[in-house]
Chains A and B, each alone.
Chain A
Amino acid sequence: MAAQTASVHKIRHHYSAGFIIWTIFKYFTLILVSFTSVLPIVSCVITAFKSKTEYQNTNVMQLPKVWKLSNFAEAFQMANMGRAFLNSLIILVFVLLGSILIGTSLAYALNRFKFIGNELIRNLFTFAALLPGIAMQVSTYSIMSNLHLINHLYGYIFLMMGTDVISIYIFIQYYENLPVSLDESAILDGANYFQIYWHILLPLLKPAIVTCIILKGANTYNEYYCAHLYLQKPELCTVAISLYTFTGPMGNQYNYICAGVIISLLPALIVFILCQDQIYNGIAAGAVKG
């Protein structure tokens, strides 16, 4: 045994100077960019905990001496955030449900069946994806108002469901990976087309559905322009709109504003930490298949 250990040499790695410089540069840039990413948010967190006098008297980046939690409660009340979270939740649930049902069924029809309008419908959706939403709102506002859909949650929900092109693409891509032989064997067993869709293909689409939930969910939760246009009554506010209450006369009380901002960030943060990998896969899936 002693003879063997004696012959084991320590392996020496020879690192070239270039390699060391590159490694240092690599980590330096990574740390720098992470710092800049985090800095604005951290400064908000620090400020959110300061009392009014501390906020006015101390330098922005100094840590508060007294960590005041009440800012959060007060901001929550001021911006009516309880109501806002409820509204946002309702909107989220219905928009996601609607998007998934519409998206998967449309993708099913487009991918599995040959019919005259197939190419046309696909092109219509592709072209529609080019049109920036904000530009469309100029006339959509007039249409929504004529249909009496303004200032009703369901009007906004319809709008969000109807302007959704990305999820359809995701689903079509996924259907391409599901072999038609599945359909065929189901037909031999006597299933009709709806049953094939509902019982066989839909369960297999779970990863795509998860992707859709993440992407569409993030978009819907963060959407504020259309919400601002179409949900003008205070009791219909979403989380994004509730932050608007901090503009105007409240404009300078950054300790409350930051508290409100942090509150609105929390759901996104929690979901992000829990589902990090799925989120990355979802976005990357758009890259690989897109």
Chain B
Amino acid sequence: MSPVAATTPAKKSFWKSRRGQQITVIIAFTVIPVFLLMLFTYYPFAEMVKFSFYRMRYVGRRVFVGWDNYKEIFKRDDISGSLILCLYYMVGALVQIFLALYFATILSMKVKCGKLFKGLIFFPYLINGIAIGFIFKFFYTRGFVLDTVLHALGIPMSALPYWLKDRAVNNWSLVYSSVWRYMGQNMVLFIGAIMSVDSSLYEAAALDGANNWQKFKYIILPSIKTIVTLNIILSITGSLSAFEAPYVITGGNNGTGTFFVVMDKVAHTSQKVGLASAMAVFLLCIIFIATIIQKLLFKYIFRNANADDESLDAKKAKQKARKAAARAAKKGGM
């Protein structure tokens, strides 16, 4: 190897220096993604906030109306009513996480045909939204799939409701389709988290005589706490923005239109872009607040997660003693 040249050029171009090269790479690699992010996420967001204060269509003149659009959200029944529908989806989401956790635990242990079960439960996640819409339209039609199966179980046809029309059940029908679709993905996520727990912990527990339930409660649950809470937060905010199931299956008719379904109608069918923008901004604020509340809530619930082996009470007692001593020392020093 030839010796490194001892002569350094008197003036080195900044762009050839280490720092210069770094800056070149940084700029080159960040400019496109940040530009796209701005163009397709933040600029639309800003525009939407602007639009929400106008009465307008996509083309044509705009009239500034101030807070009118927001007031209309509460005045219009179909809009304010649609917000309540997200509660159905929240219940469904919690059931979904519960089921996903249950099946993930079972399938993490040795089960016959485990792979087959896993595949069957997961596959619905890979189906595209419109196909799901048709599949369930077909499933729920009077006298078709679901009715036939229930009939075979002995339930008379007269007792079966119109799954998609009857307002008492149609939202639950949609929630079921959503759980059907996504439970598998949650389950695979949880399986991944459970599998990543150090297996020696299980062996040690088995040696100590722990049964399956104890293994679940003391090893699995604490380790996957983070991922489960994350999923809960995502599910709750997902329920607020529930859109696909009602959009493809019922089109939002018969009282199934969730907030975003109504918003889509308002924006593209009624061409009331200002009102739709106000709706979007309104819900985004709710989602934002809900996320923050949940994060704080979970932080509070798990605040002692990293406590040492000492029991919490012993720790508190120690702190109290320390404080008392400090106070006494202060008093004494006065």
Segment at the interface with A among B71-79, B120-128, B324-332:
B120-128
Distance of A141 Cα from B51 Cα, bound (Å): 12
A280: chain B residues within 8 A (beta carbon) = 118, 122, 188, 191-192
Q: How many residues of B contact A (CB 8 A)?
A: 92
Interface residues of B in 19-56 (CB under 8 A from A): 21-26, 28-30, 32-34, 36-37, 39-45, 47-48, 51
B117: chain A residues within 8 A (beta carbon) = 30, 34
Chain A 175-197 interface 0/1 with B at a Cβ cutoff of 8 Å (1 = within): 00000000000000000111001
B127: chain A residues within 8 A (beta carbon) = 41, 222, 265, 268
Q: Which residue of B lies closest to A273 (CB)?
A: B119
B218 contacts the other chain (CB 8 A)? no
A135: chain B residues within 8 A (beta carbon) = 48, 241, 260, 263, 280, 283-284
Q: Would B120 and A239 count as touching, CB distance under 8 A?
A: no
Q: A38-B120, A280-B192, A284-B188 are in contact. Are A224 and B130 (CB under 8 A)?
A: yes
A265: chain B residues within 8 A (beta carbon) = 127, 131
Segment at the interface with B among A1-9, A154-162, A202-210:
A154-162
- 9 nearest CB pairs, A to B: A284-B192, A162-B36, A222-B128, A162-B40, A109-B29, A105-B29, A139-B48, A139-B47, A132-B241
- Which A residues are closer than 8 A to B by beta carbons? 22, 26-27, 29-30, 33-34, 36-41, 43-44, 47, 59-61, 102-103, 105-106, 108-110, 113, 115, 117, 121, 124-125, 128, 130-132, 134-136, 138-143, 145, 158-159, 161-163, 168, 192-194, 197, 218, 221-225, 229, 239-241, 243-244, 246, 254, 257-258, 260-261, 264-265, 268-269, 272, 276, 280-281, 283-288, 290
Q: List 19 A-B contacts (CB under 8 A).
A: A33-B121, A37-B120, A37-B124, A39-B149, A61-B149, A106-B30, A113-B26, A132-B241, A132-B287, A135-B284, A139-B277, A140-B40, A142-B47, A142-B58, A192-B21, A222-B129, A244-B130, A285-B192, A287-B193
